[in-house]
Amino acid sequence: MITINFTNPYYLWLLISIPMLIITHFFVLGYLKRRAVKFANFEAIKRVTGTKLELKNARGISKNLFLLIVRVVVLLFLIFSISGPVLWYSGQSSEFDFVIAIDASSSMLADDFKPYRLDAARKASSLFVESLKAKTNIGVVSFAGTSFVEQDLTDNMKETEEVITGIRIKRVGGTDIGGAIITSTNILLNQENSRVIILLTDGQSTVGTPVDTAIEYANKNYVTINTIGLGTEEGGTFIKGDLLSKLDEPTLIDIAQKTDGKYYRADNEESLSNAFEEISASSQKKIPVNLSMGLMMTALALLFVEWGMINTKYRTLP
């Protein structure tokens, strides 16, 4: 899928100048037509053509439509250029930035992973970071009832591993998956590389931002979300065995599918590690192409064409 977004969309309001340009063009054309007829030598024209020339049937002045089209295209390209158009397409890429969003709510204490889910998530995430190439940028977010930026984007893998290892269960009640997606997306906003979120959770969103709202925000900013569901079919107990937590797969499948990502079910440490290996090996990403410079250079070239036209074929004589 190919889409275009604008980094400075407010400049698109300048598009209202295009109809103003067209109106001005024909207004000036009408003025020049009346001026030409007013000062024309009708007697000389009559002797040459044998016809009488009047204002209502004067057709000697060109509408300069081709010149108008060039000017409209130049103005259009200049407006689009300063609006910061970025074309996004899915393709093969070796340059990307990651944010790992790890669920740190109390349900991650469930014992269907030994000793518990969060510990398995930390270990697998650390191994993933260790496997990345040196120049990859990676950030870390943890979340429960709210989100916490544990680390902004960095290419320091050793520091990132230490941050992941230090994540603990948060005391803020609930699980806000939508908020975690928005926070992670915000970290990636200013990045030119392909943007990828890896979301590790049991999928039970209970508070905060609606997941559909977060998905829309991620898509608007061209972020791919790969989801990893932590939990077994039977579920696991936590807080002295009084509570049971089961994996909510439909939510995680929905997030992945709607953002061109992939869902991975991790019901043991091996499948969790395999999920990370597949994500790191994947080269299909959303790739951005900045169109501003190309549009600007095209507009400048057309300006030279227009300059040549108004001094040759479309030259106005006094």
Give residue-wise pLDDT tens across range 192-246.
778 899 999 987 788 889 999 999 999 888 899 999 998 877 777 776 556 677 7
Long-range contacts of 24-30 (CB under 8 A, 24+ apart): 25/64, 25/68, 25/71, 26/63, 29/61, 29/63, 29/64
Question: What mean pLDDT comes out for the span 88-103?
Answer: 77
pLDDT of residue 55 exceeding 50: no
Which residues constitute the domain of residue 16?
3-84+291-310
Long-range contacts of 130-137 (CB under 8 A, 24+ apart): 130/157, 130/161, 131/276, 131/277, 131/280, 132/98, 132/157, 132/280, 136/96, 136/97, 136/98, 137/97, 137/98, 137/191, 137/193
State the pLDDT at residue 58. Answer: 46
State the pLDDT at residue 36. Answer: 56
Query: What secondary structure letter does DSSP report for 146?
Result: S
Do 124 and 189 belong to one domain? Answer: yes
Residue 293: other Cβ atoms inside 10 A: 9
Do 281 and 179 belong to one domain? Answer: yes
What predicted TM-score, i.e. pTM, was given to this entire model?
Answer: 0.65
Do residues 79 and 206 lie in contact, with contact meaning Cβ atoms separated by under 8 Å? Answer: no
**pLDDT bucket at 317, cuts 50 / 70 / 90:** very low
318 occurs within a structural domain: no
Kindly give the residue spans of alpha helices, DSSP state H, lying in 146-241. Answer: 157-165, 177-188, 211-220
Question: What mean pLDDT comes out for the span 109-131?
Answer: 88
Do 272 and 306 belong to one domain? Answer: no
Do 161 and 272 belong to one domain? Answer: yes
State the pLDDT at residue 149. Answer: 95
pLDDT digits (tens, 9 = 90+) for 164-178: 999 999 888 889 999
State the pLDDT at residue 60. Answer: 46
Contact partners, residue 61, CB within 8 Å, separation at least 6: 29, 32, 33, 36
Query: What secondary structure letter does DSSP report for 148?
Result: E
315 occurs within a structural domain: no
**Both structure tokens of 14:** 């300048």
**Both structure tokens of 92:** 């093969």
Residue 194: other Cβ atoms inside 10 A: 24
40 occurs within a structural domain: yes
Number of domains composing the chain: 2
**H/E segment holding residue 60:** none
Beta bridge partners of residue 226, listed in sequence order:
198
What is the residue type of 149? V
Do residues 97 and 195 lie in contact, with contact meaning Cβ atoms separated by under 8 Å? Answer: yes
